[in-house]
Amino acid sequence: MGESNVVAGFLPTTHGLHFANRFPPGPTLRLGPLNPRWFGVGDAANGLCGGMAWFVRERFAAGLPIPPDTQAPANGSPLFQALVRRQLKSLEWLRAPLGFWWIGAFGPERTARRSRETEWQRIRATIDAGRLAMVGLVRHQGLNPFNLSRSHQVVGYGYEIDGGTVRLRIYDPNWPDRDDVAVVIETDLIRQSTGEALFGILALA
């Protein structure tokens, strides 16, 4: 029989946000009368996956309910601003973007190997300690930092191991109200159950 574990009590359908990571164009930050998008900073249409993932983890740890909203909050609303604050927090003073860049910079074989040998072990240790794990989904390759926008942040809450295959259960802000979304780590392949391109995973804070 394989090994498995789960953070007790957590399910995306209950504790995840009930709207998808899809926001209309608009600034995430405001600089007085200036639109920060003029400088290439902070368009909500690019998504707030990190903010949504951090928000969900914080609310669950504090025993607080998730807002019932099924539509993404309006730009500037209290919930929107809460997600933006956590989006900034998820960057960890640029440590997270640098981690994404480094793991995807030198080819898919290296990305997959580090994912299996190092990043998965860190994620598993967090779940085994009873805590939700912040997980980066590496969907870019190469040295170009502008490709980082393809990658994604989710929450890991459980896993099953069957032989050489790991099924990491995740709350994915792109797929609200689903308990069946997972990252599957096999000996020769890493994939997401929903079909998006995936080269590897990254253990975040």
The pLDDT, as a whole number, for residue 1 is: 54
The whole-number pLDDT of residue 33 equals: 52
Which pairing describes strands 165-171 and 152-162: parallel, antiparallel, or unpaired?
Answer: antiparallel
> Rounded to whole angstroms, what are the CA distances from 151 to 48, 106, 164, 200?
12, 16, 25, 10
Task: Quick: pLDDT tens for 151-187.
Answer: 999 999 999 999 999 999 999 999 999 999 999 999 8
What are 37-57's pLDDT values in tens digits?
333 346 788 899 999 999 999
Three-class SS of the chain:
CCEEEECCCCCHHHHCCCCCCCCCCCECCCECCECHHHHCCCEHHHCCHHHHHHHHHHHHHHCCCCCCCCCCCCCCCHHHHHHHHHHHHHCCCCHHHHHHHHHHCCCHHHHHHHHHHHHHHHHHHHHHCCCCEEEEEECCCCCCHHHHHHCEEEEEEEEEEECCEEEEEEECCCCCCCCCCEEEECCCCEEECCCCCCCEEEECC
Number of domains in the chain: 1
How far does Cα 21 stand from its chain's mean position?
A: 11
Q: What is the pLDDT of residue 38?
A: 39
For 41, the domain range is: 3-203
Nearest to 101 by CA among 138, 134, 135: 138
- What are the mean pLDDT values of the chain's consecutive 10-residue runs (205 residues total)? 91 98 79 42 82 97 97 94 92 89 94 96 98 97 89 97 96 98 95 97 94
